[in-house]
Amino acid sequence: MKGRKTYSIVAIGLSGAIALSFGFSSSALAASGNELKDKINHIEEKQKNNKNDLNKTQGQLDQNKDQQEDLSKQIEQVDSEIKTLTTKINSKQKQVDQTHAEIDKLKASIADTLKRIKARDEVLKKRIQTMYLHGGSIDYIEVLLGSKSFGNFINRVVALKTLADHDTDILNEQKADKVKLDQEKAEQNQKLDEVKANLSDLQTLKQQLSDKKAKQKSMMAELEKQGAELEDKVMDKKEQAEVLTAQKQAAEKAYQLWQEEEKKRKEEEAARKAAEKKAQQQSSSSSSASGTPSHYSQQTSSGGSGVIGWPVEGGYVTSGYGWRNLGGSQEFHDGIDIGKGAGTPIHAVADGVIARAYHSTSYGNCVFLTSYVNGKMMTSVYAHMAQYIVSQNQVVHRGDVIGYMGASGEAEGVHLHFELYNGPWQPDDGSTRHPGSVNPLNYLN
């Protein structure tokens, strides 16, 4: 199984009652009864801690949602501002285009003006050439005195005045056209520069808002990621709370069964002593009443190798217990992987009670078996099964088939992931390993 944080399903089993079901000595029964009391207290403490964690995580989730809502409103505001700016930019762009069109018209007007200026220049050049050929100026007196008649005199006066006025008009028009040309060029260039500057400012502001929106979306993505993690954690804590409540009830029931068995044991002990006394009085052999009833005489072999059986007949270990490199990173493997073909039967490694049989996103189809071995509680976990054929609270015996090998959950290939714990199964402690896990190879037969 991959080393991942698994918060849900705390598989605390039915302890003392199981011990009674599979026969232990009176001292083991007493120890089991005390252990059950401790287990109930331990579950209640875990319930309290889980509730505090749940409230804390729920508070963090609520805060995260508030932050998402506030940020969403900010993004909407920025979107609105970007939309307004886009409208303004489009309007300014139209002004720029219109100004360019006006400049194009002006260029045509300027071309006509330049033609007129050029034509006048030609006229003025000829006038200058004429004046140069006549000594630099026209002798108006000579022209008038050369009149042949009074009528001719009048005509010459009018002609001279017309010529002078024409020269003046040419100069004035030339001057006016040049002034107009310069003004129109300056005005259009100024207008174009202003519109372009305004457009540039709007585009800069729009880019700033777009950058701001991108940053906000990045923040939103991070908040959504954190929110999803918090939601998963809240769901895990709620599931854990439900399991703890069920386990507390199971432990209390087991304790009640232990009390009944303890009462029965004491009655049998009293009957045994009475029988011994009566036998002694009758001079019977003392050996006939010397043992504990066979119901309690069946002891599991002492600790060490072989205290539990193999879960897969003919299986072989493909990955051992402990630290290993997986995907380029180190992780702690809390069990062993056993390989064999798909559909291979999986067996219970010891007598016990099925604490959980369900589908997990990480373990896949899995079974948690709580057993008592030499008076001590042990939990075995069977993961990635194709299917399991047992149910919660079912009593099983060593060697019973509980499911079949597969590759469900986070499994890479067909195999059985097998974990073993001294005591109940526990979620990892934040260091990618599960407290209480032991190397199954030190216990398997």
Q: What CATH number is attached to the domain comprising 443?
A: 2.70.70.10
Together in a domain, 273 and 314: no
CB atoms within 10 A of CB 429: 11
At which of 283, 298, 313 does a domain end?
A: 298
Instruction: Determine the 3-state secondary structure of 104 from DSSP.
Output: helix
Residue 49 domain boundaries: 25-298
Together in a domain, 212 and 330: no
Together in a domain, 262 and 128: yes
- 350-379 CB burial, b ≥16 within 10 A, e <16: bbbbbbbbeebebbbbbbbbbbbbebbbbb
C-alpha angle 408/409/414, rounded to 5°?
A: 40
Together in a domain, 132 and 193: yes
Together in a domain, 49 and 169: yes
Together in a domain, 417 and 432: yes
Rg, C-alpha atoms of the chain: 51
Together in a domain, 16 and 32: no
Counting every residue written for the chain, the total comes to 445
At which of 298, 333, 360 does a domain end?
A: 298
The pair of three-digit structure tokens given for residue 23, joined into one six-digit string: 């026969």
Q: How far is CA 161 from the centre of its chain?
A: 96
How far, in Å, CA of 239 to CA of 158, rounded?
Answer: 118
Give the H or E element holding residue 358: strand 352-360
Domain count, the chain: 2
Together in a domain, 237 and 314: no
Predicted structure pTM score:
0.51
Together in a domain, 8 and 39: no
At which of 246, 274, 298 does a domain end?
A: 298
- The pLDDT averaged over each successive group of 10 residues in the chain (445 residues) is 40 37 46 66 76 87 87 84 81 78 75 74 67 54 57 56 64 75 78 77 80 83 84 77 61 58 82 85 49 30 64 94 83 92 95 86 88 78 96 89 94 94 74 81 88
Together in a domain, 390 and 280: no
Together in a domain, 249 and 119: yes
Together in a domain, 105 and 191: yes
DSSP character string of 340-395: --TT-EEE-SSSEEEEEEEEETTTEEEEEEEEEETTEEEEEEEEEEEEE---TT-E
CATH number at residue 110: 1.10.287
What's the pLDDT score for residue 108? 77
